[in-house]
Amino acid sequence: MIALSDIQSIVHGLVAMNEPMEKYTWMRVGGPADFYLEPASRDELITVLRYFGENRYPVMMIGRGSNLLVSDDGIRGAVVNVERCLSDIVMDGDLVSAQAGARLTKFVDFCVQRGLAGVEMLAGIPGTVGGAVVMNAGAHGGETADHIVDVEVLRQGALVWVKKADARFAYRRSGFAGDVVLTARFRLPAGDVDALAKRRKELIQKRNATQPLELPNLGSMFKNPPNNFAAKLIEEAGLKGKKVGQAQVSEKHANFMVNLGGAKAADVVRLIDIVRRTVYQRSGIMLELEVKPVGFSEEMKALLA
Ligand SMILES: Cc1cc2nc3c(=O)[nH]c(=O)nc-3n(C[C@H](O)[C@H](O)[C@H](O)COP(=O)(O)OP(=O)(O)OC[C@H]3O[C@@H](n4cnc5c(N)ncnc54)[C@H](O)[C@@H]3O)c2cc1C
């Protein structure tokens, strides 16, 4: 068993027990994590992760929780947030080196201001660099992986640089499950600062106009099936506005589900199930979840599989 005092002897940043995850997920749902940590430095982070590894204690990394659906029962083990200890973005020769806890907004701004192109389409995605690497986040035909050179991870206690070719990037996924992403390095082509800034602004305006950003949500719930769009399939199935408890299929964007206030994860799971079954009956297409469910019972997992 791990005691609070064991962790506090290593981590001088925030360490909390039974911390409600609804505070840290973008959709504002999720029960308590046994431990929630925000290490104060990279050294503290690595030391505590190695300590958990040696004690075979379950650990989960979290960025801004903008792609996480956490169960009402919460998370057994430790949840570790690196926003506080890994937030730097610097030039490393001709590469942009971004630490995992840096916000994507800051990363995009850093690149645009230096006339470095190829990541401006990530503007408006509310995650961290680490979350974007693991999820291979993307938009408007571009993905985080496009210009990555290599990624530094903590893998089974060892610090390793993984080359892009070995990272198994695919649509909204990577081969980093089980690793802790620390840093990602990007080589970006030159672009015109004003044109990049204009493009970034247009993309953010488009998001504001088409996404229900006024309510807590998780972005796109489902991956777009090949040659199709999840939002179109959901809308055609007449599901816009469908509600379970306080969870609702957004009226503004059918591939978003919103929390109208006090929604439970169980409501969201039931709504996901209704959407998938209805779309399947109508179109023969089974939508695949884009968001990551965490901490669910076997019964709930069956609805999300
Ligand atoms: C309004 C809105 C719009 C969005 N638009 C888009 C979009 O256009 N395109 C898109 O692809 N996504 C989009 N998303 C989804 C989400 O923002 C992205 O997937 C983002 O990259 C997740 O980053 P995060 O830091 O919030 O990760 P989290 O949600 O905290 O975590 C996601 C996964 O990454 C893992 N993880 C996080 N950090 C690390 C780390 N350092 N090391 C190891 N594992 C880690 C977590 O364990 C989890 O499995 C949107 C979400 C919202 C709410």
Instruction: Report pLDDT digits (tens) over 241-275.
Output: 999 999 999 999 999 999 999 999 999 999 999 99
Is residue 200 within 8 Å of 123, Cβ to Cβ? yes
Domain locations in the chain as residue ranges: 4-81, 89-197, 212-304
DSSP secondary-structure letter at 74? -
Residue 1: pLDDT band (50, 70, 90) is confident
What whole-number distance in Å separates Cα of residue 278 and Cα of residue 37? 40
Hey, what CATH class is 4-81 in?
alpha beta
What is the CB < 6 Å shell around ligand 1? Answer: 26, 60-68, 82, 100, 125-128, 130-132, 134-135, 137-139, 172, 176, 180-181, 211, 213, 217-219, 292
The candidate with the shortest Cα–Cα distance to 45, out of 16, 69, 24, 14, is 14
Write down the pLDDT at residue 194.
97
What whole-number distance in Å separates Cα of residue 255 and Cα of residue 221? 6
pLDDT greater than 90 at residue 300: no
Atom of ligand 1 nearest to the CA of 137: 11
Q: What is the mean pLDDT of residues 193-220?
A: 96
Write down the pLDDT at residue 299.
85
Q: What is the mean pLDDT of residues 108-112?
A: 97
Mean pLDDT (the chain, rounded): 96
CATH number for region 212-304: 3.90.78.10
Neighbouring residues of 42: CB distance < 8 A, sequence distance ≥ 6? 85, 86, 182
The candidate with the shortest Cα–Cα distance to 247, out of 236, 237, 262, is 262
Helix pair 193-210, 104-113: axis angle to 10 deg: 150
**Protein residue closest via CA to atom 21 of ligand 1:** 132
**How far, in Å, from the CA of 80 to the mean position of ligand 1?**
14
Per-residue pLDDT tens for 5-53?
999 999 999 999 999 999 999 999 999 999 999 999 999 999 999 999 9
Per-residue pLDDT tens for 142-188?
999 999 999 999 999 999 999 999 999 999 999 998 999 999 999 99
Q: What is the mean pLDDT of residues 228-236?
A: 97
Write down the pLDDT at residue 4.
92
> pTM score, two decimals?
0.95
Atom of ligand 1 nearest to the CA of 100: 41
Neighbouring residues of 242: CB distance < 8 A, sequence distance ≥ 6? 248, 249, 271, 274, 275
What whole-number distance in Å separates Cα of residue 102 and Cα of residue 89? 7
Write down the pLDDT at residue 301.
86
Of 64, 172, 200, 276, the catalytic one is: 172
Q: What is the mean pLDDT of residues 277-284?
A: 97
End-to-end CA distance of the chain: 31
Is residue 36 within 8 Å of 78, Cβ to Cβ? yes
Query: 89-197: what fold?
Result: 3.30.465
